[in-house]
Each structure stands twice: as structure tokens, then as C-alpha cells.
Structure 1
């Protein structure tokens, strides 16, 4: 039982987009056809009833005179309009004017005996109705209801009064149920004499079942044609739908070929359908972002691997040195004052290197995570002037020039900017000759930026290496002694600090040597 339910559910709720579009389109089309059928049935039934009522009235007015003489005379034997007394009854038309029953259609000879379908049924006369008459009744002005043929339903008195006093349209009718339970379409027609006196209302009824059979027949024809249209639409829509969804199938094939190692694949962006084109464009944008993210992740992993390797290498060297001195001391050097002091001084220097390296690494980690810059408006020229004695001591016998513009105000963290100046100056000291070296510190400003430049006359930096000098643990001369070259973190820290001040840093080198490090900081715009 559950399996059958599942199959029925899959039939009405398919997972395939093609089948979903097809089934839902057919459901919508079927619903529209049902609505059209309902409206058609309502409109056709009303039209058929009106047409039948109009036809009855036309045939009433076209009836032979002798039929109405016999009919109306038999129901009102004492009426002055009775035939033979010179006043012939007439049936009022829809415009209120009276017409003689035989005025528009005079007798045309003997048309055959009565067949039970009209007023002359079973009597000498002509059958003049071309449709089946279910009932004929006459209601006089006094309200007397007389059935003359069949089973005639009696209506409310106000219906007959309305027929006497109101000009009825040719298509007006009333649906009523007779005593046998069958519905009849009733037409009420006033009857009067040529003298203008109304003598009553003629009520003629025909069976509704015959009309309903016509309606059902038309409805069945419509249903049959609708089913044919649905079948034709099904077989026509399937190939069109299949062709329409071809771009989606191609997109599925393309996406299935894409993986983490093949992100350069792209989906064709030009399609006939705007929605599929937008979907393709969105997929391609997503793939571009994924490719950038994967590339950034690979670079980050490579940098992390290189960082761990460099940090391990930098830490291993002083630790190995300390370990070696401890072994020397354990072998007996501790009893010799000269060797003991030498070993302790060496271990002290190595421990200072470790402390500085760890401090720099912690500082870089803090700057990467969330730079904590206490930016306040101050004069940068005053700060550098205060650092001059310290910088000259670091330069030793090197020649140092200071060219500082005055009143240079900028928002900066005083301690961090001092570290930037000190790192750049130390880098210049390490790459210049102790005796012939020349270092210049310049501070200038324009309308937008503050420019701090530290230049030297050292060997310079090759063009291919200029973009790498700010990387962590990077050194131009890998074979240079670490006691002079440092760990390669100073410029990386400097770059992080400058970017934390919304500034930039760059380095240049001339063809004959020398290096320039230029820091650009935005000028203060007032306030603190």
C-alpha cells in the first residue's frame, strides 16, 4: 500500500524540473479549460433558454386563428370575445401591441391531424408548434387557472400580474417544477381582444430535459475537444520543454567537472533565456570568488608553512647555542671563571635574541588580529627631533643628516611611530659601511600626505627583491650572520604599523646603489 502511495505521489509531485513544468502547465491548462467549460455551460444554457422562449412567443403569434378561437372560447364560454360574436382574441407582442394570432401566418391548408403537440391536438385543426409542448394553461384576469394540455405548474400570482402589466421581452422565461417533479421552461403571453381588453395570460411550457440534453451534448463535445487539445499540447510541449532546458543540462555537466583543483572552468554566459543567463552569470561570479578564496587559502597556508619553518629556524639557532654552552659548562668549564663568564655572556645574548624574536612575533600577531593604535594629533617633527640623539648613537661613525619640515601635524600612535622610525634607521645602519655610510632622514608634507623618508648609500635592493623586503623572515643576504642581520621581522612590523595608521610604505633603489624607504601618512584634518 505504501509503495502505491509513493508512486502516486511521485507522479503528481515529480522531482524532475521538466516533468514539474509539464505537469503544472497541464494542470493550469486543465483548470482554465474547466472554467471555460463552466462559463460556456452557463452562457449556453441562458442563451438556449432565451432562444427557446423567443421561438415560443414567435410561434404563439404565428398560430392560425381557428386554434385560438377554439382554445380561448373553450375556456371562457361566457366571454364577449368568444368566437362567433365578432371579436377575435389577440396575443400581445413584446412591444405591447396586439396582433391577431393568424395575422402573420394565415392558414395554409390542411397540414395534417393533431398529434398532441399543440392546442389543436386531438381535434380538427393544424398542429402549428414545431417543438414539444409539455403544458398549456390559461389564467384569466380573475386569477382562474385552467390547464388545457399536459401538466402545467402554477406560478405565484405576482408572476401573472407582472405578465399582464409589464411589457415582457421576447426572451423572458421562468423555470418551474411541475407536479411530477420535472422542470419546465414557461413562457407567459398576455391575451387581449381587438377592443383592447385583456382577458388573461397564456402559459405555455416545454420540457427543460430536452434542452439540457442539448447542453450536455455540447459540453461532452467540448470535453472531448479539450482532451484532444491537452494530448496534442502534451506531445507538442515535451520537445519544446526539452529544448528549453538544454542550457540547464549543460550547466549541470559543467558544474560536475568543477572541483577544488579545477576552478578555471566557466559556464557559457550567453543564452536565449534571460533567467538562465542570469543564473550562469551568478554561477560564474561564485566560481570567481571561490577561485580567489582558494588561491588566498593556498597562499595563506604557504605563508603559514614558511612562517613556521622560519620561526623554528630562528628559534633553533639560539637554543642550540645555549644548549651547547650548557654542555660545555657541565663538562667542567663551570669551574673555570673565564670560560664560565664567557658562556654565561653568550647564553645571555642568545636569550635576548629569543626574547626579541618572541616579542616581535607576538606584536605581529596583535597587529594582524586587531591593530591597537591610540591615534592622537601631534607634531611628528618634534618626535623625530627627540629621537635624534638615540639615532646618532646607533649610527656610530656613519654620517647622518636630518631634514625635517616644521609644524608637521598628523594623527599617530607615538610609540608605534617611534618604532617605525627606529626600524627603518636600524635597517639603513645594517646595510651601510660603518665608516663611509651615509643615512638621511627627511620629513615633508603637502596638502594631502605627510612623507617620511629614510635613505642610505648602501648596496641597494634589486628590483626583483623590492616587493619581498616587507615579508616576514625575509633577508636579502641569507648567508649574512644573524648577529648582524636580525630575524627579518623589522620591516614586516613596520609595514603593519604604517597600514594601521591608514598609510603606505614602499622602497626604491637606484641603479648605482642606495635604498629609500618612503612612508606616506594622511594629514590631520582637525580635532584630536
Structure 2
């Protein structure tokens, strides 16, 4: 039973888009044809009955009123259908004719042999017919239960109304004509639906070809083949828009997959670099401990050297861990305590500290007035220290020159840290802000660096909605520029 219901449901509510469109189109056409058929039936009904009534009216008016009056006064000696009424030859044989005088007396003028008595209408209807010259038409049932079209028409003699002629005729011939017309229309409608079905199927199939192309293309797309794209110019606006939207989704998915692959690769490199950075100081500490265990602990000079080296290596590990923790916090997009202020005041406050870090290197400043922006003072100090420390590492201890400038630039405040060091080759500039990236590994380790300072700097600048860039060439020094939105631009 359930299977039968499902089959019936699939027949009337198909799941295929093609058959849904076909069935719904045919249903709409069939409904329209049904409405047209009903409308035609009622129009034909009114037309036929009205035409028949007018024909009977014309036949009544074709006979003089004196003849109708004379006929009503003649005694009827014949049986049904035999009366000598006027105009018997003008009416069809099935017609019933009666004359009603002003006193509402009904006289049968003509009556078919196989019909019942002439139906008598209410006196009010006869009164209305006597008072007006217009025809009155009604459909009533006689004693035999058959419908008749009854026409009432007043007649007169010498300008005076003498009575009303009632003519009735069976409606069955008219109904037969209507049914014949309706059956003909239904037959033509069925033929039209069949022809439409046969003609619409191939047209619908061709119309859905672009959709079939999309389905076949989508089936070929998987995680390893995201470069496939749907055709976007197939001559159908809706399908083309669907293809464009789907292609956009594929591009976003492809970008997400590429980003995920890149993130996994970066994580792999990060773990490898972090392991390498931790392994070096740990190996050094382990080696010194072995030396101490062999007896160096009783030799003050070697003991001091070992402890000093282990302390230095532990500081490297501590700094590396602190930097990694800071990067982890920055990756979680922390909320900085950003406040409006003059960045120039921060640079001036750090001037003594920076000169101490520079040692014998020359340090110069160029600070613009009113360098107002929104920033976290502690984090911006860290940015300046990181960039300055990087410049110190890459300039000569005696001949080095580091210049720090602060100016207004393109709707923001630009901080520049420039040195006269050996510069950086172009192939390294793209990777400078990557984690654990170092141009000179031995030199970076000498100063305790792990290649995280510039990564931290960039993360802080990004969280301030700013930008950082580097300009350098081999032998021409290096300049790091940080841009932050100016306070007036933010407001």
C-alpha cells in the first residue's frame, strides 16, 4: 500500500525538474483550457437562449394583435396539437402557445400532442409583461419536468394592449448544441495537450542542457581538482548567474584550501624552526653539564665559564619562549589599550635608552610636531625597540649611524628607522617578516636573536591598523617604515 502511494505521489509530484516543469506547465495549460471552456459554455448558453428568445419574439410580433385576440376567443374543439391558432406554421412543432388577457385568463392557442399542459407563470410576471413592451424570458419546468424556454410578449390592437402571448419551447435542443460544442472543445483541448506534450519535451530537454552541463562539471570537482569552472555564457541569464556564483564559491574554496595548505606548511616550518632554536641552547647546556659531571665542578675557572655559558643559553631559551608566547597572544587578536596621543613624545621619551643601546654608533632624530594617532604606548615602544635593535645588529659598532624620523605622510604618521649597514639583498625582503627567518644565522645567534623580532613588530603594527615596509639594497643600508592612521583621519 505504501509503495503504491509513493508511486502515485511520484506520478503527480515528480522529483525530476524536467518533469516538474512539464507537469506544471501542462497543468496550467489544462486549467486555462478548462476556464476557457467554461467561459465559452456560459457565453454560448446565453447567446443561444437569447437568440432563440428573440426569434420567438419576432415570430410573435409578426402576427397582428387582432389575430391573437380572435384566436383566444375561438372555442377549441380539437385535441392537443390541433388548434386553429394563428401562425401555427411560423413556429416549430414543439412550441406551446398561449394567450393571456388583461384579467390573466390563459387560453391555450397551440400545444404539441405529446406535451403536458402549458406552464402557468405567476400573475405578477404577466402583469409586468402587460405593462411593458419589452420581452420577458424565463426558463421553467412543465408538468412533465422538462425545461422550457418561455417568452412573454405583449400584443396590441389599435394602439391598445390586448394581452400577452406566451410561447414556450423545449430547451433540450439548445442544451444538445451546447454539449456538442463543449465535447468538441474538450476533444480539441486534449489533442492540444497531447501535441504540446510531444512538442514541449524536446524543447524542454534542450532548454535544460546548460543545467545538465553544470551537473556534469560539478561531478568532476573534488578536493584535488578545484580549478574546474562552470561555463558562464550559455545563453540563459539565470543559469549564467548561477554559474558565476558557483565559480565564485569555487574560487573561495580553492583559496581556503590553499590558505590551509600554506598554514600547515607554515606550522611545519614553525615547529621545525622552534625545535631547532631550542635544540641549540639545550645541547650547549647539556654539554656543559657533562663537563661539570666529569669533575670541572672542582675547578673554579671552568666552573665559572660553564655557569656563565649556561646562564646565557637559558636567557636565549627564556627570550625565545617569551617571544613565542607574545606571538601566540598577538595571533588571538588581543585588545590593546589604545589611546590618542603624540607618538613623538614616545620617541623622545626613549631617546636616552636608544642611545645607550647604540653604544658608539651615531644616533640622530627628526621628530615632527603634532604626530597624533591612536596607539598602545607600551606596544609602540616595543616596535621602536625591535626596529632599533635590528639596526644595531646590522651596523658597524664604531661607524654605524642610525636615524629615527617621524613625519606626516598620506593621512597618517610615518615612523622610519634607517641605518647605514650592509643592506639586504632583494631576494630576502619578501621573507623578512616571516617567523624564524634570518639572513645571517651565525650573526643573529651571536646577538641572541631567533628571527622573531620583525614578526612581532609586524603583528603589533597590523593590530594598530597600520602598515610596515622595508627599503634596502646591498651596500646602501636599510630603512624600515611604519605607517599609522593619523588621529584626524580616524575621526
Q: Same fold (TM over 0.5)?
A: yes
Q: Give the Cα–Cα distance (whole angstroms) in 2 for the partners of residues 526 and 229 of structure 1.
A: 72
Please name the residue that 2:122 is paired with: 156
Are residues 1:496 and 2:433 paired?
Answer: no
Higher helix residue share:
2
Please name the residue that 1:167 is paired with: 133
Q: Deviations over 1:49-85 (max 9, x none)?
A: 00111111222333599974763232699xxxxxxxx
Please name the residue that 1:131 is paired with: 92
Give the alignment of 1:156-235 within 5 angstroms: 156-169=122-135, 172-193=136-157, 195-235=158-198
Please tell me whether the aligned partners of residues 451 and 521 of structure 1 are also in contact (alpha carbons under 8 angstroms): yes
Please name the residue that 2:271 is paired with: 308
Are residues 1:3 and 2:3 paired?
Answer: yes
Give the alignment of 1:46-195 within 5 angstroms: 46-62=46-62, 68=68, 71-74=71-74, 121=82, 127-148=88-109, 149=111, 150=115, 151-169=117-135, 172-193=136-157, 195=158
CA RMSD of aligned residues (A): 2.8
Q: Give the Cα–Cα distance (whole angstroms) in 1 for the partners of residues 437 and 322 of structure 2.
A: 17
Count of residue pairs brought into register by the alignment: 486
- How far did residue 332 of structure 1 move? 4.1
Q: Give the Cα–Cα distance (whole angstroms) in 1 for the partners of residues 279 and 105 of structure 2.
A: 129
- How far did residue 454 of structure 1 move? 1.4
When residues 225 and 345 of structure 1 are mapped into structure 2, their CA distance, relative to the original with a 3 A threshold, is same
Please tell me whether the aligned partners of residues 156 and 162 of structure 2 are also in contact (alpha carbons under 8 angstroms): yes
1:442 to 383, 394, 405: 405
Q: Give the Cα–Cα distance (whole angstroms) in 1 for the partners of residues 86 and 206 of structure 2.
A: 73
Are residues 1:20 and 2:20 paired?
Answer: yes
When residues 66 and 516 of structure 1 are mapped into structure 2, their CA distance, relative to the original with a 3 A threshold, is closer
When residues 409 and 210 of structure 1 are mapped into structure 2, their CA distance, relative to the original with a 3 A threshold, is closer
- How far did residue 271 of structure 1 move? 2.7
Please tell me whether the aligned partners of residues 423 and 490 of structure 1 are also in contact (alpha carbons under 8 angstroms): yes
Are residues 1:477 and 2:440 paired?
Answer: yes
When residues 34 and 273 of structure 1 are mapped into structure 2, their CA distance, relative to the original with a 3 A threshold, is same
Please tell me whether the aligned partners of residues 426 and 473 of structure 2 are also in contact (alpha carbons under 8 angstroms): no
Q: Deviations over 1:264-301 (max 9, x none)?
A: 22222113222112212211222222222222222222
Please tell me whether the aligned partners of residues 97 and 168 of structure 2 are also in contact (alpha carbons under 8 angstroms): yes
Q: Give the Cα–Cα distance (whole angstroms) in 2 for the partners of residues 397 and 64 of structure 1.
A: 143
Secondary structure of the equivalent of 1:272? Answer: coil
- How far did residue 483 of structure 1 move? 3.3
Please name the residue that 2:385 is paired with: 422
- How far did residue 130 of structure 1 move? 5.0
2:221 to 249, 258, 261: 258
Q: Deviations over 1:473-500 (max 9, x none)?
A: 1111245462326110100111111222
Q: Give the Cα–Cα distance (whole angstroms) in 2 for the partners of residues 355 and 128 of structure 1.
A: 130
Secondary structure of the equivalent of 1:394? Answer: helix
Q: Deviations over 1:186-233 (max 9, x none)?
A: 01122332x333332111111112211111111000000111111111
TM-score by length of 1: 0.85
